[in-house]
C-alpha cells in the first residue's frame, strides 16, 4: 500500500505587494476549518511575515533546522515547528535575515520531503525572486499559486513566467487576481488578453477588509473568524483548494 504524502502548495507572485502572504494565511485558515492538518512553511526568508502575522514567538526556525541538519545534530522535526492551532503548524523564516545566505537549497528539499509524511498539506509562502531556494521549492510543489494584481509590471512579469512554464511544458500553476489591491483601471478581458491566458480565480475588490490591520495585530487569520465565514472570498479559496486537492 502506498504511503500517503502531503500535497505541497506554494503561494508566490511575480512581484511584491500582491497580497501573497495574506492569501497563504487565508488558505491555511480554510484548511483548518476543514480539519486538514497543515504546516505553513515561510520561505519568504528575508521578510518572515508569517510568524509575525500570527504573533508567534518561535524558539527555532528554518535556519536552525537546516543548520542542525548540516551539522548532523538534527532533532525531531516537531522541535523546530511552532503550533498555531490544532490544525495549523508553522515552520518560520529566520529571525535574523543575515542567516538567509547560510540556508542550503539542498537541505530545504530534504526537509520538504520529510514534512510530506507528517501533514496532509504543506502550504509554502515564498517571494517572487527566482533563486535556488525558490527553484527547489517549486520542484517539490504539486501546485503553484500566483497571486497577481493589475499593476502593469506585475502583469509583464507574470507573462514572462507563463512563457517559462510553456517552454518547460509545465501546467501545475493557478493564477489568482487580487482585485482588492487593484490600482489600475484594466478590465479582466484586457488582463486575460495580455497574458494570453485566463485568470483562474478572482479575489473581488470587496474582499478588502477595513479592519484587517487590527485582525493581523491580534495574530488572527481572517478565514477563521466567524464574522467572515459566509464571505464570498472564502468560497473562492475553498474552490481553489478543492481543485488542487481533488
* 137-183 pLDDT, tens digit each: 999 999 999 999 999 999 999 999 999 999 989 899 999 999 987 76
Q: In this structure, is residue 144 part of a structural domain?
A: yes
Q: Residue 216 has what pLDDT?
A: 73
Asked if residue 186 belongs to a domain, the reply is yes
Cα 14 to Cα 36, 43, 168, 176, 212, distances in angstroms: 28, 15, 18, 11, 24
Q: What is the pTM of this model?
A: 0.93
Contact assessment for residue 12 and residue 128, using Cβ atoms and an 8 Å cutoff: yes
Paired strand residues for 10: 124, 144
Cell of 182: 487593484
Distance (Å, whole) CA 175 – CA 20? 12
Residue 227 is assigned to a structural domain of this protein: yes
**Percent of the chain having pLDDT more than 70?**
94
In a domain, 1, yes or no: no
Count of CB atoms within 10 A of residue 199's CB? 17
Domain range for 76: 7-245
Q: Decide if 2 is inside a domain.
A: no
CATH number reported for the structural domain that contains residue 11 in this entry: 3.40.50.300
Half-sphere exposure of 237 (CA within 13 A, CB side): 28
Range name among 12-21, 26-35, 134-143, 207-216 with the lowest pLDDT average: 207-216
pLDDT in tens, 187-245: 999 999 999 999 999 998 765 565 666 777 888 998 998 877 777 889 999 999 999 99
The number of folded domains in the chain is: 1
Q: Does the residue 47 lie in any domain? A: yes
Is the pLDDT assigned to residue 2 strictly greater than 80?
A: no
Mean pLDDT of 127-133: 91
Q: How far apart are CA 52 and CA 236, in angstroms?
A: 25
Q: Is residue 158 part of a domain?
A: yes
Domain assignment present for residue 189? The answer is: yes
Amino acid at each position: 500500500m502506498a504511503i500517503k504524502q502531503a500535497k505541497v502548495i506554494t503561494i508566490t507572485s511575480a512581484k511584491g505587494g500582491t497580497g501573497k502572504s495574506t492569501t497563504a494565511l487565508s488558505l491555511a485558515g480554510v484548511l483548518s476549518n476543514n480539519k486538514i492538518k497543515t504546516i505553513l512553511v515561510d520561505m519568504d526568508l528575508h521578510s518572515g511575515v508569517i510568524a509575525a502575522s500570527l504573533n508567534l514567538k518561535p524558539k527555532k526556525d528554518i535556519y536552525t533546522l537546516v543548520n542542525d541538519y548540516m551539522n548532523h545534530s538534527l532533532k525531531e522535526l516537531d522541535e523546530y515547528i511552532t503550533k498555531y492551532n490544532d490544525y495549523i503548524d508553522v515552520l518560520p523564516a529566520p529571525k535574523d535575515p543575515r542567516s538567509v545566505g547560510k540556508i542550503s537549497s539542498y537541505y530545504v528539499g530534504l526537509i520538504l520531503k520529510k514534512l510530506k509524511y507528517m501533514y496532509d498539506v504543506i502550504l509554502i509562502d515564498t517571494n517572487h525572486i527566482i533563486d535556488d531556494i525558490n527553484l527547489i521549492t517549486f520542484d517539490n510543489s504539486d501546485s503553484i499559486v500566483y497571486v497577481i494584481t493589475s499593476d502593469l509590471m506585475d502583469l509583464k512579469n507574470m507573462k514572462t513566467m507563463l512563457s517559462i512554464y510553456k517552454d518547460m511544458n509545465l501546467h501545475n500553476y493557478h493564477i489568482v487576481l487580487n482585485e482588492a489591491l487593484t490600482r489600475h483601471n484594466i478590465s479582466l478581458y484586457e488582463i486575460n488578453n495580455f497574458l494570453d491566458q485566463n485568470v483562474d480565480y478572482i479575489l473581488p475588490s470587496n474582499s478588502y477588509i477595513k479592519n484587517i490591520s487590527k485582525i493581523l495585530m491580534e495574530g488572527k487569520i481572517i478565514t477563521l473568524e466567524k464574522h467572515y465565514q459566509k464571505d464570498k472570498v472564502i468560497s473562492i479559496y475553498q474552490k481553489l483548494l478543492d481543485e488542487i486537492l481533488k
